[in-house]
Chain A
């Protein structure tokens, strides 16, 4: 496993006045599926944001390498073009920007996705169909007035269109009804199958994992990665919750202090 796609090493990060992540190390190989679990407020979203390059957080130590390059200092747009994708827990609304032209813009930023306007239209239509999105979605404004589930579908639409090497899905499944959940699951499967992309899935819900072959599971508590294991770790968490790890984290935190 020397050729990792993503390698986070000794990463500590937080906001200006609050450390959130402590000495986090994690590696994801190309095409692998990893799961990140942990109680609310553990720092999972923060880790996703820091990997994406959200300037709201400062890295105080450690590095993030992606595809063989150190991207710790890179802005989010550079990381995106390098192949990192983050599906947001709460995608923002951008009034007045039509979804379709937005999709065209972000696709055209990528030389490897160069296609004619006509081909692009067909491609977007195809993905929208896969995700059970009506064609009226595309003429609407980016995320504006969409339900939580619909916004997650729009995230999946972008994922399938942009074909990143790594997708971090931050609770893409939470708050979805059964139908939306199965659509999103199908989207993830398609991403795995068509793009051979790697996944880092942040979730509370094991349902979304049922149809995925999980390679590794990570557990985060209070900003520490406290456990890492095979897919079976998920079942253990399902049964016993995070309590077992919370003690470990208290110890880790205590050692630090």
Chain B
């Protein structure tokens, strides 16, 4: 691996090796492929967990084995051979509080992804996970002084103050029996984040966790548990990437978000998986009265995705905004969308999604709106815009609505568009090449989502769009 330093924010100069590099996992602790109670016990023992957690893992493993493999309504996951996915790969290193203490190969990985730089410039705290374990975790002192906790679930479980809190919340929003891969997640979960923001505290800068899956033929099963207490305010950013391998990789994380009365949580994600990845991720938020949940989601890469962040608007007048974009290129079949359940009266949800399909890529967008009986005056709008870059790609929209209160209203709108020849001519006649013109139009299409992201991430997203437009990501 050469020692060139690449600047992540250099848009003009797109380098395809930016995400696509690997380090040897020699010396790493890698558990046998496949899934047995012994492996689950070994993971739990290594983490020195409370008994309840081990029991939860073993019960989840039973659930996993009991459930049917493939859903019959989405993209095929036949290429995912669980007997050949290693569920636990740990770099032999302790979690560090300083980048100095992170081993060079791993530190270089995150340097190249621009994480330490972003931490210095614009973040309140950073967690970095490499394969199955968090290798770096740190938060600004002034944030800690406010009582904000940002750590790993493992560490929280070892802290007598936080173990009962984890016990109270963990696995309650996404139960292990939710679906087969949720069960798998609870059996073998490792790493991820625990965030607690006390009542009334506003965290000025975002916290960010970055998940890097380096090992070939492995799975990543991080668990994110965030509790934003009453009237508190947090922006959490999740970044993910993996290099290209020929064997299938699996990502089955779980994200549980508790947004209490009057609180606000913004959860931003940039996922950039390699195209051998099965991304079967589950994300869910429960929102209290007068509270607000905001999702910003950019999904790039992966061979197959099943991803539908779900918001439960439980409290009166709570609200949710979702803006997301997916990009499906050659060999990709992405089944994404969002779900919202409006239970409280006068709750509002607005979901705005965009998809881009190119080179035979396939996008399916599912939206689900459920309005409960008590949800007087609830309002939900879903808008889905698809951009097709050629005739061999596919884009489908599948809306579902279940409205049980006569005073509620739901709006749905879906459009499918193409880049017009007139637009390409206009931009070319001002000096852009045809490829630049198309990339510019696609970037503009994605703009309503990228402008919701902090600047560096918006830049990264534009960069990813450029790479996808060039077909450069493996």
- B84 CB to closest chain A CB (Å) equals 42
Q: How far is the CA of A98 from the CA of B431 in the complex (A)?
A: 17
Q: How far is the CA of A109 from the CA of B436 in the complex (A)?
A: 11
- B386 CB to closest chain A CB (Å) equals 14
Contact across chains for B429 and A91 when beta carbons are under 8 A apart: no
Q: How far is the CA of A77 from the CA of B441 in the complex (A)?
A: 16
Contact of A76 among B420, B425, B448 (CB under 8 A): B425
Is the C-beta of A141 less than 8 angstroms from some C-beta in chain B?
yes
Chain B residues 424 to 474 lying within 8 A of chain A, measured CB to CB, are 425-434, 436, 440-441, 443-448
Contact across chains for A94 and B423 when beta carbons are under 8 A apart: yes
Q: How far is the CA of A26 from the CA of B123 in the complex (A)?
A: 62
Contact across chains for B444 and A80 when beta carbons are under 8 A apart: no
Q: A54-B425, A56-B421, A91-B426 are in contact. Are A77 and B431 (CB under 8 A)?
A: yes
Q: How far is the CA of A130 from the CA of B448 in the complex (A)?
A: 31
Contact of B430 among A53, A56, A162 (CB under 8 A): A162
Q: What's the interface size class on A, roughly? A: 20 to 34
Is the C-beta of B68 less than 8 angstroms from some C-beta in chain A?
no
Q: A55-B421, A92-B422 are in contact. Are A76 and B429 (CB under 8 A)?
A: yes
Most chain A CB inside 10 Å of its own CB: which residue of B422, B423, B430, B445: B430
Contact across chains for A95 and B425 when beta carbons are under 8 A apart: no
Contacts across chains A and B counted by CB atoms under 8 Å: 74
- B356 CB to closest chain A CB (Å) equals 12
Q: A55-B421, A92-B422, A94-B427 are in contact. Are A77 and B434 (CB under 8 A)?
A: yes
Contact across chains for B441 and A94 when beta carbons are under 8 A apart: yes
Kindly list chain B residues whose C-beta atoms are within 8 Å of the C-beta of A80: 428-431
Contact across chains for A92 and B430 when beta carbons are under 8 A apart: no
Is the C-beta of A160 less than 8 angstroms from some C-beta in chain B?
no
Chain A residues 54 to 86 lying within 8 A of chain B, measured CB to CB, are 54-56, 75-77, 79-81, 84-86
- B384 CB to closest chain A CB (Å) equals 16
With both beta carbons as reference points, the residue of chain A lying nearest to B448 in the complex is identified as A96
Contact across chains for B444 and A106 when beta carbons are under 8 A apart: no
Is the C-beta of A52 less than 8 angstroms from some C-beta in chain B?
yes
Kindly list chain B residues whose C-beta atoms are within 8 Å of the C-beta of A109: 431-432
Contact across chains for B428 and A77 when beta carbons are under 8 A apart: yes
With both beta carbons as reference points, the residue of chain B lying nearest to A86 in the complex is identified as B429
- A100 CB to closest chain B CB (Å) equals 13
Kindly list chain A residues whose C-beta atoms are within 8 Å of the C-beta of B420: 92
Q: Mark B61-104, 1 if CB is under 8 A from A, else 0.
A: 00000000000000000000000000000000000000000000
Contact across chains for A158 and B429 when beta carbons are under 8 A apart: no
Is the C-beta of A88 less than 8 angstroms from some C-beta in chain B?
yes
Contact of B444 among A55, A56, A75, A97 (CB under 8 A): A97
Kindly list chain A residues whose C-beta atoms are within 8 Å of the C-beta of B444: 94-97, 141-142
Is the C-beta of A116 less than 8 angstroms from some C-beta in chain B?
no
- B412 CB to closest chain A CB (Å) equals 21
Q: How far is the CA of A246 from the CA of B413 in the complex (A)?
A: 50
Contact across chains for A94 and B426 when beta carbons are under 8 A apart: yes
Q: How far is the CA of A37 from the CA of B81 in the complex (A)?
A: 71
Q: How far is the CA of A85 from the CA of B426 in the complex (A)?
A: 11
Chain A residues 105 to 149 lying within 8 A of chain B, measured CB to CB, are 105-106, 109-110, 141-142
Chain A residues 151 to 201 lying within 8 A of chain B, measured CB to CB, are 158, 162
Name B's A-contacting residues (CB within 8 A): 420-423, 425-434, 436, 440-441, 443-448
**Cβ contacts A to B, 12 pairs, < 8 Å:** A52-B425, A54-B425, A55-B425, A77-B433, A85-B429, A88-B426, A92-B426, A94-B440, A96-B444, A97-B441, A106-B430, A141-B444
Across the A-B interface, the 9 shortest Cβ-Cβ residue pairs: A96-B444, A96-B447, A97-B444, A109-B431, A76-B428, A76-B429, A80-B431, A77-B428, A106-B430
Sample of 7 further A-B pairs with CB below 8 A, known A91-B426, A95-B444: A52-B429, A75-B428, A77-B429, A95-B445, A98-B447, A110-B431, A141-B444
